[in-house]
Structure formats: C-alpha cells, structure tokens
Amino acid sequence: MLTTPRLIAIALCAALNFAVGSIVYLIKLPLYLDSIGTILCALLIYPDRRAAFVCSFLAAMISTVITTLFINPFLIWFSATELALALVAAYFIADAEAIFRARPLPMLRFGTRVVLYGILTGVVSAVVSAPVVAYVFGGVTGSGSAFLVAFFLKAGQHLMAAVLHSGFTAEPIDKTLQVLFAALLFRATPKDFIEMVRARPQPAPT
Amino acid sequence: MGSRELIAGPNFSGRSRTVHLRAQSFAAPTYFIGPYAEAALSGLSSTIADEIELYRAKDHTTGRSRFGTIPTDPRRKPQTLSGGEQVLLALHCFSLSGYRALAIDTALEQLDASNRREALHYLDASDSFNVVLTDNRACPPGWNCTHLTAADTKFACNWEGLRANVRQCRAPVVAISELSFGYRPEHDVFSNAAVTLEPGQAHRLFGPNGSGKTTFLKILVGALLPRFAQITLDGAPYEPWRSGNRALALATQNPDQQWCGATLGEDLSRRRAALASRGEADALADDRVMPLARDLGVPSLDQHLYELPLAARKRISWLWPFAGAYPWIMLDEPTIGQDDDTCRELARTLEALCSAGYGAVFVTHDDAFASAVPHRVLHVENKQIG
Amino acid sequence: MTPNGAIALVIVVVLAAMMARISGLVALYLFTALFAVIEVGPHAAVALRRAVILMLPLAAFMILVWVGVVGRAPADIAASQPGSRMNALIYVSIVCARLFLIVAIVQIAAMRFATLTPLQFIQALRAPVALKRLGVLTLSLVETLLQAVDRAHTALIASGVITRRISARNLFHGWVLVQTVWLTAITSVTGRMRDKWPMEHTLQLLDPLLAETHAAPLATPDKLWIFSAAVIAVGIVWGDFHGVP
C-alpha cells in the first residue's frame, strides 16, 4: 500500500497542511485552513479507497504532530476529527474526482459537490470535535466560533449543546472552503504525478 | 583514471536523457545534481548537518579530497540556500560520500565564476570517480565530448518575430538612495546604499553568490520592506511595498515560482485582472500575448505550465516582462539551462527592448551572455550597489 | 533522557492533567518544575516563555467569553442557577491552568532535545522505519514548501496579483499562492523521484540511519521520571475517587 510515490504524497500533503497555516498568516486572511492536504491526499490516491483513507489519515496525523510541536499545541486534541475527516474524504469526497478534473469545468456540478461535501464534512467535524472543545477547552478554542458558543450559552444552552450548535454554524463554512481549495489543487496537479501516486506496486515475478 | 564526459548540444536534443543512460552504464549508483529547483538536495534533510550526515561514507575511506567547506551554520535549512549554494553543498556531500560516479545536468551554471572554476578543477583533479556533465557554458579541456545535434523543434522560438513586435516605451528613471535592509537585525544586506537606474539601458547586477542581488530585485518589486529607502520614479516617490508594484516586471530565477496559474491562460488572465484594477490591461490583451507566447515556443494558452520541459518553462517566463506591461524588465539568471543560440537571441532581444526605451536589470554569472548585451555593471558587495 | 522517554512522560503527564483537580494540578506543576530544572536547566525559561506566548491569547479569549459575555460557569448553567462572574473566572482559571501545564510540558520536553538535528531526533525514536521515513520526508518537505511560499509570495506581489498588506485582493487571490506553492513542490519531488533517487538509491542511504539504535529505548532517567509521573497520576485518580478538591 505504501509505495514510495504514496509516501511522497503523504509527506507533501502533511507539509501542505502545515504550510497553509503560514500562508494564511502571511496574507493576513481571517481563516485557518488546516486540512486541505488531508482531503487532497484522498483525491490523489483514489480509487483505492482503503489506501486513500490510510494515506489521508497519516498525512493528517503527521501534520497535526508537527503543528502541535511548532505552532499550535492544542491541535493534537483533534486527532479524532482528523480520522473522521480522512474517512469522509476517502469514501465520499474522492467520488467527485472526475468532476474536479473535468475540462472545461462543469461549474454547477462542481459547485454543488463542493458545497454538499463541505456541509457533510463540517457536520461530521462539528460532532466529533464537540466533546473535545467542551471538556478540554471549556468551549473556547481561540477562534471566532467562541462567540457563537457564548451566544448559545447566554441563551441558556448547556455547554455541550452550545458547542455543537456553534460547530454546525461555523464548521460547514470553513470545511466548504477547504474542500474547494483541495478540489482546485487537485485539478491543477499534473497528470503524471497523479499516475505515479496511483500506480499499484507490481508483484514480484514468479 | 575515472572517465570525464561532456554531453553537449542544443536544448531539447536529448542531453538529459543521455546523462541518464551514461549514469546507468556506470553499473553503480551515481550521485546526481540536476537542473531544477532543489535538484541538488536529497529531499530528506531539514538541516545542512543532516544532509552531510546522510551522504557521508560510513567507512570514511573514500580516498578522495574534500570539496570546499560549509561557511554557514550547519543547523541552517538547505532549502534556504541559494541555488548556487545548494550546488556547492551537493559537491561537498559528494566529496564525503562513497559514490564512484557523478552526473551533473547544467547545475554548475548556477555558480559564480570563482566557484565554477573551483568545481571544475575538483572534477578534473580526482581519478577516483567517473563524471558525466552537461553544461551550456563549460568545455573543459581533456574531456570526452559527445555532441548531440538533432533537436526537437516543438518548443522553437521565433526571435525575429518577437523583436519585430517590440513597442516603444518611455521608462522612468529609478533612483534609489539611503537603502538599508537586513533579513536579521544584526546582519545588514544593504547599508545606506544608493544607485540610479537609467532607462534605455541594461544594468547587470554582479556579485558573488549570496551577496544580495536577488534581494535587491525583491525590494524593487515591493516584496520586501526595507528598514529605510528612498525610491523615486522620475522624481516622484515610489514605495512598492506600500502601494504595490507598478513599474518593474520580474522573471524569477526558478520559473516555477512566478506562475499565477496552472495553465498559461490562467496565469495571464490573473495578471490581466491585476493590471485592469489600474486600467492597464491592454498590455496583456489576447492579440498581444498570443503571438508573444507562440514566439516563445508555447502556442497554446491551455498548456499546463508545469508539464513543459524546464528550458521551455524558463523561456515562457519571459513573456511577462517582454509583454511591456511595465517599463522596467528584470531577469534573474535568465540563461541557466539555455543553450548558446538562445542566449545570443535573448541578448539581442534585451538590446532591442532597451533601444525601444525600456529599462532592464539582469542578474547573471554568465559573462558571455552579459558581454553580448551593452550594459552598465552594478557591483553588489559589502552592502553597497554601484 | 531519550526522546522515547520524553514522549512517554509527556503522555503520562497530559493524561494525569486531564483527570486532575486543583490539588492534582499543583502536584503536577511541582513535578514539571522539577523536571525542567533537572533535565533542561536555564533553557527551561525559553520553553516557558514560549508556552506563555502560546497560551496567553487563548486565556484572554476565554476570560472574555466566559467572564465577560456569559457571566457564569458551565455548572451554573447545567443547574439552571444564576451563577456569578467569579464562578466563571474560577472555571476559566482551572481550564487554563490545565492547558498551560500541557503546553509547558511539551515545550520543556522539546527544549530538552533542542541540540539534536531532526535526523538525530527521529533516529533515536523507537518506531517503524516506514514511519520514521515519513517523518524525515515531511520535515524536509515542510521546509521546501515554506521556502516556496516565500518565493511565490515575492513573484505574486511583483505581478500585482496579491499585496504585501491585508487587502480584499488577498482574500480573493490568496489561494493562487497556495496553488503555486503546491505545484512548485510537486515539480521538485517529481524530478527527485524520476532522476535523483533512482540514480543514487538515496532512500537506501536513509534507512540504515533510521534503523540505528545505539541504546535501549528507555534510559534509567526516563524510567525514573515516568514512574514518578505515574505515581502522581495514581494519586490523582485516588483523590478523584475520594473527592479530594
């Protein structure tokens, strides 16, 4: 499963997850896009779904560990979210790889898929992240969604419910952007690199 | 005596493929230094110390002399080194390794004259390894020379057509004074430097590897914020780091780092949109850029830029400065990987552009190319320019 | 101390911190301070400063949200009590104390190995060679991408597609920077996989380095530290069971 090109793809996607954070800081965007590489890895390795999931998850975990050590020490707590994201990427998002690479770009189908997968990924991410946000971080992780949590708490909701509702509101937007970026990067990737990554290891001659 | 072979020939004649075949014929792993970005590095190291440790022969019995020393912090990241410094590091690693063969694909062109002499002397002096080299500038005496002649014309350039379509321009005088800049507070690259760039003339930035030539170009396009600088265009204040670049078109040393899109069409449409915000999109109108792209060897706007051969990518990277969107043209090491014919034509084209009123600044270690372009030399060293 | 021991220690301390109440946190803070003094020495101040820089914005944010906006603690909300800002502040203080401890132990443990190169650090780990190879590759590619970010940033500013300062144009075109960086990196690795690595057998140079293990996975100091942390963790569990605050 882990051929040399796939190891490269994993490492590249993990590095992309890490580097995008620095890009966002450099051009002063009010976002933090940390899973583009995870989704992209699954797209690159599809149609071998199992390999796509394993490689995507490895990319996510490696970037999480490195980011935890050097930039954001709290990211490691969201490892379960990374697992869920890799599953969604390999078993749902990767299905749209032909649409993402079609030329000319079918705008309506492309846009519909991006939004649908973004919402799906966002909802899954919100559900899986909620216990961590609530019980490890007390509902506040330092992003703007904390004010949404505060709003729901002020309205009388319990902490877990407030975190969930905040997640359902903010996560789909963030994840839709990430699915969009991953799709555009996948679209731009040279075909010979994709072929190299998807080539299965050859069995030894008998 | 180890074999010494030079593979010569024009671009797209199969030199890189021939280097590969020769390397395979050595029947042992061959250390390789390639032409593209980071091709000199293993890709497995985060520090110079790790890069050296990776290649160091474990039994310490290479029997060959060491090439060069590393005058920088061994904990420095090799990816932050300039192209020439990466090649020097690669040669240093090779000299410590147990490889019995070395293949170099145009990488020596990134070295300044002094380092290049030293590298060629090292390759010549030792008999403990084989070398196969392709280089557009070198012709070491005593080497076996294989000339390849048949070249693929798929990416041929039409230089006469390109020069015939040069528009007249009136570039402003660029005056820089009190320039002070450093990447770190304790280490200045420039200290109170001053220089004036005259339109209608080419200027060569000349200095050793790592002296600040590319840094100067970055400051002029507004990518770096100097600690202090006064820049004027025809006397009017100009602060590109604040107001954006509106005068200087830069073709970077590595063409892959200047694209604004995956395809040529995508790249041009984004540049056009950026110019349109200032009402200057005409320079990149389709009827202007399509012939220019064809003249530079890429006839289709749907061409995926990263699927082009490196030499072709380098040439199409000149489309942006040659389009005339900005009155000043800046080329950073334009001749790396380009054969002699292309260098001569490029020199003539630069001269034609300057005659039409453009200003030009170029960085090159290629003295033959520089001597073909009437130019003024600006020495970049000791934190000064001039 | 070995990297393996440091990782194991951090895991034990973090797990203990998650279960700890006030007394448990005090014990863990004392333990961490002792670890910092003995294993890291004066450089621990650098690690602590970094932990403070990382934690301060989050703490401020928490105070703003819980004390400033919500005005009561989660327990008050769950019990439908009016609560008070003081309760909210106490709650935030405990959460922040826990998180700061976690951040600090990670930074202090990392500082312990600051003199090792990345290859030396990964070499010393007890992990499958394939995983180590991935770690080495990723760290190298991170540097490649960061360098490509810097150079692509220059070129895109030069062409006017993005600006140096915050702007609406950056919001719209910022992703072009991501695309350029991605494609640059792919071109670089494709070239290596096609040319340099097959010619040199470069990966075969790496594997013996990664497989070298000069010592046992855990040294004696590692075992002492881990054991001590485990004793504190057991004490915390006992304290939780018996309602010790």
The 10s digit of each residue's pLDDT in C134-143 is 999 998 998 8
Can you tell me the mean pLDDT for B281-286?
74
Chains near B with 3+ CB pairs less than 8 A apart are A, C
What confidence tens digit (pLDDT) does each residue in C228-242 have? Answer: 999 999 999 888 878
Name the 3-class secondary structure at B4: strand
Q: For position B61, what pLDDT does the model report?
A: 59
Residues of chain A with pLDDT under 70: 21-32, 142-144, 201-206
Average pLDDT over residues C196-213: 87
Q: Which amino acid is at C157?
A: I
Domains and CATH numbers, chain A: 4-198 (1.10.1760)
Q: Name every residue in A having a CB less than 8 A away from some CB of B.
A: 187-188, 190-192
pLDDT at C173 over 80: no
The residue-averaged pLDDT of C39-67 equals 89
The residue extents of the domains of chain C are: 3-122+214-241, 127-211
Q: C-alpha angle C30/C57/A132, rounded to 5°?
A: 75
Architecture of domain B155-385 in this structure? 3-Layer(aba) Sandwich (3.40)
- Give contacts of C181 with chain A, Cβ < 8 Å: 16, 19, 23
Position with higher pLDDT, B203 vs C188: B203
Average pLDDT, integer, range C167-177: 76
Q: Can you tell me the distance from the alpha carbon of C239 to that of C245, in angstroms, rounded to the nearest whole number?
A: 8
Which of C164, C179, C200 comes nearest B29 by C-beta? C200
- Check residue B327 and give its pLDDT: 94
> Does residue A55 or residue C61 have the better pLDDT?
A55
Report pLDDT for B1: 58
Quick one: pLDDT at residue B243? Answer: 83
Reference C46, options C111, C94, C102; nearest CA is: C111
In the predicted model, what is the mean pLDDT of chain B? 89
Taking the CB of residue C211, how many other CB atoms lie within 10 A of it? 10
Residue of B nearest to A184 (CA): B262
Query: What string of DSSP letters covers B256-300?
Result: GGS-SSSBHHHHHHHHHHHHHTTT-GGGG-HHHHHHHHHHTT---
The CATH 3.40.50.300 portion of chain B extends over: 4-151, 155-385
Point out the residue among B23, B37, B55 whose CB comes nearest to the CB of C199.
Answer: B23
- Residues C38 and C9: their CA atoms lie apart, in Å, by 15
Note which residues in 105-124 of chain A have CB less than 8 A from chain C.
none
pLDDT band at B384; cut points 50, 70, 90: very high
Closest chain B CA to residue C161: B274
Beta bridge partners of B206: B379
Touching subunits of C (3+ CB pairs, under 8 Å) are A, B
For the segment B119-145, the average pLDDT, to the nearest whole number, is 87
Tell me the chain B residues in contact with residue A187 when contact means C-beta distances shorter than 8 Å. 262
For residue C118, CA distances in Å to B64, C9, C140 come to 29, 20, 9
**What is the CB-side half-sphere exposure of residue A118 using CA atoms within 13 A?**
23
Structure confidence at residue B361 (pLDDT)? 97
Q: Is B304 on the interface with A (CB under 8 A)?
A: yes
Name the residue among A137, A154, A184 with its Cβ closest to that of C69.
Answer: A154
Per-residue model confidence as pLDDT tens digits over B158-215:
999 999 989 899 999 999 999 999 988 888 899 999 999 999 999 999 988 778 898 9
- Answer yes or no: is pLDDT of C128 > 90: no
A25 has a chain C CB within 8 A of its CB: no
Contact C170 A27 (CB under 8 A): yes
- Is residue C65's pLDDT more than 90? no
Per-residue model confidence (pLDDT) at position A33 = 81
Please give the Cα distance from C128 to C183 (Å, whole number): 30
Look at B73 and B283; give whichever has higher pLDDT.
Answer: B73
The C-alpha atoms of residue B8 and residue C122 are separated, in whole angstroms, by: 43
Give the best residue of A2, A12, A33, A70 to mutate against chain C (max C CB count within 10 A).
A12
**Architecture of the structural domain at B4-151:** 3-Layer(aba) Sandwich (3.40)
Instruction: For B44-61, write each residue's pLDDT tens digit.
Output: 998 999 999 999 987 765
Is residue C197 very low, low, confident or very high in pLDDT (cuts 50, 70, 90)? very high
Mean pLDDT of chain C: 87
For residues A108 and C212, the model is more confident at A108
A141 near C CB under 8 A: yes
CA of C214, closest CA in chain B: separation in Å?
15
- Residue B63: pLDDT band with limits 50, 70, 90: low
* pLDDT at B92 exceeding the cut of 90: yes
CB atoms under 10 Å from CB of C96, counted, come to: 20
Which residues of chain C have a CB within 8 Å of the CB of B303?
A: none
Considering only residues A124 and B66, tell me which one the structure prediction assigns the higher pLDDT: A124
Which of A15-19, A200-204, B351-355, C154-158 shows the lowest mean pLDDT across its residues?
A200-204
CA–CA dist B239, C164 (Å, integer): 12
Residue B170 has a pLDDT of 93
**Mean pLDDT score, C71-90:** 87
pLDDT for position B87 = 92
CB B4 within 8 A of CB B102: no
